[in-house]
Amino acid sequence: MLKVSHLTKKFGELVAVNDLSFHVAKGQIYGIAGPNGAGKSTIYNLITGNYPFEGEILFDGESIAGMPPHKIAQMGISRTFQVPETFSSLTVEQSVAVGAHFGDTDLFDPQRVDEIITFLELEADRDRMAGELNLLGNKKVMIGAALGTRPKMLLLDEPMAGSNANEIRALMALIRRINVEMGVTIIIIEHFMKVLTELTDKLLIIESGTRIAEGDPDKVTSDPEVIECYLGQAYAEDN
Amino acid sequence: MSATMALVFGIMAVLPLFVGGTAHMMHILIMCLIWAVVASCWDLIMGFAGIFSFGQVAFFVIGAYASAIFSIQLGIHPLAAMVLAGLVTAAAGVLVGLPCMRLKGAYIALVTFAVHMILEPFLKSGMGRALGTGGTRGILTIPPMELFGITFAADNKIAVFYAALALAVICSAIIMLVIRSSWGTAFLALKDSQDFAASLGVSAFKYKLAVFALTSFLTGLVGGFYAHYIGMLSTRLLGIDLFVMLMIMLVLGGIGQFPGAILGAIMTVIGNEMLAPLGAYRPLVLGALVVVLVLLLPDGIMGLLRSLVPHKVAEQVRQG
Ligand SMILES: Nc1ncnc2c1ncn2[C@@H]1O[C@H](COP(=O)(O)OP(=O)(O)OP(=O)(O)O)[C@@H](O)[C@H]1O
Ligand SMILES: [Mg+2]
């Protein structure tokens, strides 16, 4: 579904993404991990059309090079942001409707907004201003707006950051349901290894924009090189 | 929200019954309506779309000059000239908007205000004179609008007033419709977070350029109306006074609080008349007023009115 080949992004001298290739199959939950500054969010920014890049990104066989972000959203790639974004002038319902209105190329269907709000258990908050919600609420609205676009693929950028154990469990269940019930292919960037090993079908570890390992999550997390440059010895002993 | 608008225009509509005999009072009311449209357009682009455009007075002047020149040089009917002037101003708006697509916040303010700064020397230049701007002297004999055997000129203020009222109602209704449509939602979404909005399929380019085109079209149209009413034009309109007045209208009415801008315009024009005895101190008082208003009434009169009926706020916001 998503085929990334020899992707490279330089910011001046800094090579944020370095000759990276990977492939995400339809229906998968694909994980990406790596230390801070490894280039994870940059990969998302490239897939969603925020910067020009070297290499190739194919979505359903079509190159996204040169496409503006809104076109890519309409093609079926949706995302969340590492630092939650909200529309402070809009209500929760309106925020979800933005995705349904502009990101879905079909005719606007208000019922879809209702379905998403019910799916995310946001009924009680639907008429509240989006900026008034707590962190978990913000994340849900951001996911809801993304789902409004009727995406084929959803990119989640550290969805668990700042969440407690209960919230993490709830978000994991939610992500699984989006994948299974809505049939959305998912890429997830995450620092919590437990989340990645439980949730993902395939895991990519990068450092300094370069791939270190890719494959079955359990195998990848026991790879000596991954332990050395990302997970650390303590993690290996704990597991 | 539209109830506020209907009430304000309804009250305006009956005022000539009481002050119709006083030419000066009628002039003030006409100016209230003209500035109400200009301020509302500014609110649409700045308050809703979040684009810090400071070219609003410039667009008004472009529309006024264009309409005057079209009617004088080409001899076309003032009404047609007004519409053409609106289109010319919209084209100017798009031209100014294009470089703004790549800029943010204060930089847009600089670029758009540069247009304001360039306009006066341009109108006075040889190039301007060749177009018929009259250079430093300005344009002195602009034909008034004539329709259905009525002449909408300065000596027939009641007729001009009702024409201005009709124009203001139409323009405000257009602005209200835009705000309440999905376009209004797109503007707010882009203002709050452009990256988030774009990731949801909102084309920043399309909607930002569209808001430049629409607001400059309406502003230019009203500029044309002003030109045919007053009958003469000079670059004095580009002085700082008018710019500050317009700013007060918007801040007083509440930025992003449409139709607050209409209330703000009416109160500012009338208030400015009442401050006339202050003479040279008037600009000083007006300047101080901007500061005080921003500090005391961040959401303007409209925000104040809304906070008095809190249960309705969510409803109104939802309606755009
Ligand atoms: N727009 C930009 N301009 C310049 N440098 C950038 C830009 N975006 C990212 N970078 C740099 O690229 C590198 C990779 O950043 P990125 O945000 O992709 O890391 P990350 O893996 O998501 O890290 P984190 O875990 O902290 O979120 C960093 O060194 C960052 O400073
Ligand atoms: Mg990141």
Report the relative pairing of strands A185-189 and A153-157 from DSSP bridges. Answer: parallel
Report chain A residues whose CB lies below 8 A from the CB of B193: 85-87
Q: Which of B182, B200, B256 sits opposite A103 (nearest CB)?
A: B200
Asked if residue A34 has pLDDT above 90, the reply is yes
Q: Can you give the pLDDT at residue B314? A: 47
Tell if the CB–CB gap between B200 and A145 is shorter than 8 Å: yes
Please count the other Cβ atoms lying within 10 Å of the Cβ belonging to residue A23.
14
Expressed in angstroms and rounded, the spacing between residue A29 Cα and the centre of ligand 2 is 18
Asked if residue A220 has pLDDT above 80, the reply is yes
Q: Is residue B83 part of a domain?
A: yes
Report chain B residues whose CB lies below 8 A from the CB of A70: 198, 200-204
B152 neighbors B163 (Cβ within 8 angstroms): yes
3-state secondary structure of A24: strand
Minimum Cα–Cα distance from B181: chain A residue: A101
Q: Can you give the pLDDT at residue B224? A: 97
Greater model confidence, A52 or B317: A52
Q: Which amino acids bring their CB within 6 angstroms of ligand 1?
A: A 11, 14, 16, 34, 36-42, 82
Q: Give the pLDDT band of residue A28 (cuts 50, 70, 90).
A: very high
Tell if the CB–CB gap between B317 and A128 is shorter than 8 Å: no
Please state the rounded mean pLDDT for residues A149-173: 95
For a substitution probing ligand 1, which of A41, A46, A191 has the most ligand atoms within 8 Å of its CB? A41
- In this predicted model, what pLDDT tens digit does every residue of B123-152 receive, in sequence order? 998 888 889 898 888 899 899 888 888 888
CA-based max dimension of chain B:
59
Please state the rounded mean pLDDT for residues B22-40: 94
Please state the rounded mean pLDDT for residues B89-111: 91
Task: Tell me what percent of the residues of chain B surpass a pLDDT of 70.
Answer: 96
Q: What average pLDDT does the structure give for chain A?
A: 93
Domain ranges of chain A: 77-150
Q: Which domain holds residue B106?
A: 16-239
Asked if residue B187 has pLDDT above 50, the reply is yes
**Nearest-CA distance from B310 to chain A in Å?**
13
Asked if residue B205 has pLDDT above 70, the reply is yes
Question: What gap in Å lies between CA B102 and CA B92, rounded to an integer?
Answer: 17
Interface of A with B in 121-180 (CB under 8 A): 127-129, 142, 145-146, 148-149
Q: What is the dihedral of CA B137, B143, B144, B145, to 10 degrees?
A: -130
Residue whose Cα lies nearest atom 16 of ligand 1: it is A39
Q: What atom of ligand 1 comes closest to residue A34's alpha carbon? A: 21
Burial of A122 (0-12, 13-18, 19+ CB in 10 A): buried
Please state the rounded mean pLDDT for residues B58-77: 95
Q: Which residues surround ligand 2, an ion (CB under 5 A)?
A: A 40-41, 82
Please state the rounded mean pLDDT for residues A163-184: 95
Q: Give the pTM.
A: 0.87
Burial state string for A157-178 with b = 16 or more CB within 10 A and e = fewer than 16: bbbbeebeeeebeebbebbeeb
Q: What atom of ligand 1 comes closest to residue A42's alpha carbon? A: 18
For a substitution probing ligand 1, which of A42, A47, A157, A189 has the most ligand atoms within 8 Å of its CB? A42
Report chain B residues whose CB lies below 8 A from the CB of A124: none
A74 neighbors A62 (Cβ within 8 angstroms): no
Q: Is residue B138 part of a domain?
A: yes
3-state secondary structure of B232: coil
Q: What is the ipTM of this complex?
A: 0.93
The alpha carbon of A75 is separated from its chain's Cα centroid by a whole number of angstroms, namely 16
Q: Is residue B162 part of a domain?
A: yes
Q: Is residue B201 part of a domain?
A: yes
Residue among A67, A87, A128, A133 with most chain B CBs within 10 A, to mutate: A87
3-state secondary structure of B88: helix
Q: Where are the beta strands (DSSP E) in chain A?
A: 2-11, 14-24, 29-33, 54-59, 62-63, 77-79, 153-157, 185-189, 202-207, 210-215
Asked if residue A89 has pLDDT above 50, the reply is yes
Q: Is residue B268 part of a domain?
A: no
Question: What gap in Å lies between CA B67 and CA B82, rounded to an integer?
Answer: 5
Asked if residue A189 has pLDDT above 70, the reply is yes
Q: Give the pLDDT band of residue A109 (cuts 50, 70, 90).
A: confident
Q: Is residue B129 part of a domain?
A: yes
Expressed in angstroms and rounded, the spacing between residue B226 Cα and the centre of ligand 2 is 54
Between vectors from CA A131 to CA A129 and to CA A137, what angle results, nearest 5°? Answer: 95
Tell if the CB–CB gap between A101 and B182 is shorter than 8 Å: yes
Please state the rounded mean pLDDT for residues B38-64: 95
Report chain A residues whose CB lies below 8 A from the CB of B202: 70, 98, 102
Q: How many domains does chain B contain in total?
A: 1
Residue whose Cα lies nearest atom 25 of ligand 1: it is A36
Q: Can you give the pLDDT at residue B310? A: 56
Report chain A residues whose CB lies below 8 A from the CB of B182: 101-102, 108
